[in-house]
Structure 1
Amino acid sequence: MTEDAEEAQRELLHRIQTEGVRVAYETALAVCRDPKAPAPAKSTASATLFRVAGYFDRKDQSPHKEPHEMSPEELRSEIKRLSQLHKRRPPNIFE
């Protein structure tokens, strides 16, 4: 690839990552808000927005449980996780 072609590709990629992303986002929102848009289009647009927002990529797919909803094993596990998290945090000058 020549230098001119590489430069053109870099410029195009920059425009896609800036202008293109904005247009795609606005278009997806417009489809979701359009009362006349067909259901499949709304479904695709909303799924795209959720995917980009990271809702489909969460590692923990289970909803957060309150302590009173946890089993004894889940409580032990959560206490252990929080204790380890507490040990790793920087010291607080007010403690």
Structure 2
Amino acid sequence: MVDLDYLDDLDGEDLTLEIVRLAKTEGAKVALRSAMELCADKKAPAQARASAQRAVLQLAGLLDRRDRGSDLPRDLHEMNGEELREELARLSERTRAVRARHKRRPDDVFD
């Protein structure tokens, strides 16, 4: 089990970003493991198995986003010009915020 006590020290965007990171890493591993076990469990109710199977296929990208009814952002190659400009602005702002929180030293090797 993952210790989440350190989340109490975060707030705002830092907390949101950490929750998303955890969901995409630890949460995804736990969810996939659980879904795969449920898919293989012959004693599980058919509806539960079907739901788990669909979740695995979605995670693998084998079902169309429209099928999912998902709010996930579209891939860059699916965006029009305006959507690309909005995504660039969002990422630029996020980069500025991260840099402001983690000011580099002048002698940083990555400068």
TM-score (structure 2 length as normaliser): 0.45
Question: Residue in 2 aligned with 1:50?
Answer: 57
- Is 1:28 the equivalent of 2:30? no
Partner Cα separation in structure 1 for residue 11 and residue 56 of structure 2: 35
- Large movers: runs of 4+ above 2 Å: 54-57
Q: Which amino acid aligns with 1:50?
A: L
Separation in 1, partners of 2:13, 2:57:
33
In the alignment, residue 20 of structure 1 is paired with which amino acid?
G
What is the CA–CA distance in structure 1 between the aligned matches of 2:23 and 2:39, rounded to whole Å? 22
Can you list the C-alpha shifts for 1:62-92, whole angstroms capped at 9, x where unaligned? xxxxxxxxxxxxxxxxxxxxxxxxxxxxxxx
Instruction: Give the Å deviation of 1:21.
Output: 0.6
Return the offset for 1:6.
1.8
- One-letter code of the match for 1:35? K
Identity score, percent = 36
In 2: Cα distance, 1:5 partner to 1:51 partner: 30
**Could you say if the C-alpha distance between residues 4 and 26 of structure 1 is closer, same or farther in structure 2, counting changes exceeding 3 Å?**
same
Aligned-partner SS, 1:37 = coil
Paired residue for 1:5, among 12, 28, 36? 12
What residue ranges of structure 2 are gaps of 5+ in the alignment?
A: 1-9, 65-111
Alpha carbon RMSD of aligned pairs, Å? 2.0
Question: Displacement, 1:34?
Answer: 1.3
- d(CA) in 1 for partners of 2:45, 2:62: 23
Which runs of structure 2 are paired with 1:1-95 in the superposition (5 Å)?
4-57=11-64
User: How far is the alpha carbon of 1:56 from its aligned partner?
Assistant: 2.2
Q: CA deviation at 1:42?
A: 0.4
Matched positions, count: 56
Provide the TM-score with structure 1 as the length reference.
0.51
